[in-house]
Structure formats: C-alpha cells, structure tokens
Amino acid sequence: MADFGGDVEAFRAEARAWLDENFPPSLKTTAGRRAATADAKLWRERVAAQGWGAPTWPREYGGAGLSRAEARVVAEEMARAGAYNPIGGLGIMSIGPTILELGTPEQKARHLPHIARGEFEWCQGYSEPGAGSDLASLQTKCEDKGDHWLINGQKIWTSVANLADWCFCLVRTDPAAKKHEGISCVLIDMRQPGVETRPIKLINGDSPFCETFFTDVHAAKDDVIGPLNGGWTIAKRLLQFERDNISIGLGAGALGSPAAAPLAVEDYARRYVGLDDEGRLADPDLRKRLVEHKMEHQAFQLTLARAADEAKSNQGPSNAASIMKYAGAKIAQDRAELIVEAMGANGLGWEGDGFDGQELAQTRAWLRSKANSIEGGSSEINLNVVSKRVLGLPDPK
Ligand SMILES: Cc1cc2nc3c(=O)[nH]c(=O)nc-3n(C[C@H](O)[C@H](O)[C@H](O)COP(=O)(O)OP(=O)(O)OC[C@H]3O[C@@H](n4cnc5c(N)ncnc54)[C@H](O)[C@@H]3O)c2cc1C
C-alpha cells in the first residue's frame, strides 16, 4: 500500500477498498470460516502478502510496517467488512514480538517471516506439573552437547502442542544456579522424534491443550532467545505481550470460543427473558446488572484503545498488561454468566433433544470462560504483579 504519511483517514479509505476487493464473501458466515475451503486459503495468502498478519512489524520481517493507529484501522475495517485476520496464534501474540524485540538479527530473519505469514503453529512450553504460578521452579533439563542442546522433561497445559510445529520453551540450563538464574528460553522443533503430546480435555469438552513430553529432544545452538541463563527476563517480557494480546481478545469476546456468542448479551436477555409493557427487559434486577456489565465492558474497550494510542512509538506493553488481563477475564466471565442466566434452563444444555446448536454453544462458552482467570497467569498472580510492579507495594512475605 502507499505511504499515507500518518493520514489515518486516507489510509482507512485505501484499506476499505482493498478489503472490498480481496475478502471472499463466502467467508462472512461463521460456518464459512470454519470450513477449510479454497477461499479460506486464498484469504490467508492475501493477508500474508499484504503483511496484515503482523501489521506493525517491519516489512523486512513479513509485516506491513504500520503504526498502531493504522493497525487499529485495519482491524476496524476488517470488522466492518465482516472479515477477520486469518493469521494469529501464539506466534503473533507472544514469541513473535519477543523475537522482534530481543532476538538476534539471524533469529529475526529465520523465524519472523514464517510467523508473519502464519506458516507455523507455535506452542508455549512454560507450565510443568510442579511449576504453574511458581513458574521458576521448572525442571525441564537442557544440556549443552557441543553442537546442539539436548532437552528432557515434561510440560503441561501446552495449548495446541499436538498441532504445533515449534515450541518456545523455558528450560533449566544451570541446575546449580538460584532458581530464577538458571533458566533459558529455547525454541524447539516439535516435528522430531522424542516429542510426545497427550491431549487433555477441558471442562467444556474441547481438548485445547496437552501434556508434552521431551525425551532426548534436540534444539539448535543458536535457538536460545536472549542470554543463556537469562531466560527469566525473556519469559516475563513474553508474558507482557501475551497478557496484552489476551486482553484485546477478551475485550472482543473472542478468547477460547470464537464466535461462540454471536448476539450481544442484551439480545440474549431480550430473547429469553422478554420485555415488559414499556419495552424494557422484564427482569429489573437482571436489567440493572446487565447495564452495569455493558458500562464496564465499554469502559474496558475504551481503556484498551486509549492505552494503544498512548503507547509511545510501538514501545509495547508494560506490567500494566496485568491490569488489563485481570479486568478482561472478569468482564468475559461476567458476560458468560449473564448470558446463561438470561437463558434460564436453556442455558444448561450439553447434548440431546430440545436444544439448538446456539444454546449448547453458550453452555460450553460459559464453561470455557472459567479458564479465562487461569490461562496466561491466574488472576491472583496478575494482581500480585500489579501490587508489586505497578503500584510498588511491599511484598507481604
Ligand atoms: C485454557 C488454558 C490454557 C493454557 N495454556 C498454556 C500453555 O499454552 N502453556 C503453558 O505453559 N501453560 C498453559 N496454561 C497453564 C496456566 O498458565 C497455569 O494453569 C497457570 O499459570 C496456573 O498454574 P497452575 O494451574 O499450576 O495453578 P497453581 O499455580 O497451582 O495455582 C492454584 C491456585 O493458587 C493460586 N496461587 C498460586 N500462587 C499464588 C500466589 N503466590 N499468590 C496468590 N495466589 C496464588 C492461583 O492463583 C490459583 O488460583 C494454560 C491454562 C489454561 C487453563
């Protein structure tokens, strides 16, 4: 696209014209998006070629070199056109921005263009059976074998590990050092012998994550991100990117259950609770709580937009991402609660007669929302970050 020299409205007109010309109309429906059609493939290729998979990344790494304001225009215009960004996942959300900021020039050149084009699925090897919130207790062993790293250990709750091509993984490279000081962040090719994944079922019936086992798995010597034994700093920075992006997903009502709630929350209430003689929602108590939720959601979205505008020159998120992650999880969970409450007995379906797919989807979305305050760091842990790193309060210990 042409360089608009900061004229966002001129850029908007161009983006709109591009979308009108390039977004296949067959993908406007949820069903259309779910099918692996030729149109879906074409759309992915077009977005990748345009650099809009990672719109703010430099062009040399597969992005479009857009400002944050322009990237927001792309997202807004996609929503207006009924389109969506087909390139995402943990590559774009978490490891991509981390490599862009902290990787070597060689690491950037090797990994970022593939991520920006959505060519590989990435997973996150942080949690272990004995290391969740207390992440620095992780034990997965990584030994220097001269021309490669050798990795042995187990991860858990690894989202999409069974589908992943690559894993960004926290490993222990110095078992003798203090626990925060012997950790490194290494990139592991998941398509090699010795990698085993066993899907685990989530409460809503999906299997989005896995137990992941590494037995004599290899990693390239130059696939350690950041300094050797300096992985804790990398891990924390990556979590800021992740929490920032999770907040945006939660604000859009998308995390974990894309398009699960196609109606606005008040439309569910209108449909299932009904209206009184004056055209208001018939249940005054639900009406009050629904209005409170809508106000909170609106304030959250405006705060996200303001934070994006105020972020100086693509400097990226800070520890304040924990505020947004905490608030976003609460608002998403309130929304799911209000929807099933409004649906009454219809909101309790799992399978069988008498429920259409829409109602079943809401029950499952409500169950899925329980994970919002756990994934990406639990709400308690995010509150601890806010207390210590944003407010500067003393550690209670
Ligand atoms: C849907 C989903 C997807 C996930 N995907 C991934 C993934 O891709 N990769 C990955 O590595 N992990 C993933 N996780 C794991 C997630 O990061 C952990 O579940 C989370 O960090 C909590 O760790 P834990 O489950 O071991 O709970 P614990 O750490 O055992 O915590 C149990 C409870 O104690 C509380 N608690 C613990 N420590 C403190 C403290 N210091 N102060 C106050 N309260 C505390 C917690 O808030 C929580 O309520 C995923 C989890 C979910 C639910």
Mean pLDDT of the chain: 90
pLDDT in tens, 203-236: 988 888 999 999 999 999 999 999 999 999 999 9
- The residues near 185 (Cβ < 8 Å, ≥ 6 apart) are 168, 169, 170, 171, 224, 225, 226, 231, 234, 235, 238
Distance from residue 378's CA to the centre of ligand 1 (Å)? 5
pLDDT at 256 over 50: no
What average pLDDT does this structure show over 330-335? 94
**Quick check: 44 pLDDT over 90?**
yes
Question: Is 50 exceeded by the pLDDT of residue 164?
Answer: yes
CA dist., res. 388 & res. 250, Å (int): 24
Res 4: pLDDT: 61
What pLDDT, in 10s, does the model give residues 71-119? 888 988 998 898 989 999 999 999 999 999 999 999 999 999 999 999 9
- Would you say the CB of residue 375 lies under 6 angstroms from ligand 1? yes
Question: Nearest CA to 85 among 99, 64, 103?
Answer: 64
What the block records as the tokens of 38 is 């030729």
What 171-180 contacts at long range (C-beta under 8 Å, 24+ apart), as own/partner pairs, is 171/138, 171/140, 171/141, 171/142, 171/231, 172/138, 172/139, 172/140, 172/141, 172/142, 173/142, 173/144, 173/228, 173/229, 173/231, 174/229, 175/141, 177/229, 179/136, 179/137, 180/136, 180/232
For ligand 1, whether the C-beta of 248 sits within 6 Å is no
State mean pLDDT over 178-205. 96
Angstrom distances, CA of residue 328 to CA of 160, 318, 334, 346: 22, 16, 10, 26
Q: Is 377 in the pocket of ligand 1 (CB under 6 A)?
A: yes
- Residue 207 beta carbon below 6 angstroms from any ligand 1 atom: no
Q: Looking at the predicted structure, is the pLDDT value of residue 6 above 90?
A: no
Write down the pTM of the prediction.
0.92
Positions marked catalytic: 242
Q: Which of 156, 157, 169 to mutate to test the pocket of ligand 1 (most atoms within 8 A of CB)?
A: 157
Q: Is the CB of 258 under 6 A from ligand 1?
A: no
Say yes or no to pLDDT of 42 above 90. yes
* Percent of the chain predicted with pLDDT > 70: 91
* Alpha carbons 226 and 187: distance in angstroms, whole number: 11
Q: Which of the four pLDDT bands, split at 50, 70 and 90, describes residue 349? A: confident
Ligand 1, pocket-test mutation among 367, 370, 378, most atoms within 8 A of CB: 378
Residues 155 and 127: beta-carbon distance below 8 Å: yes
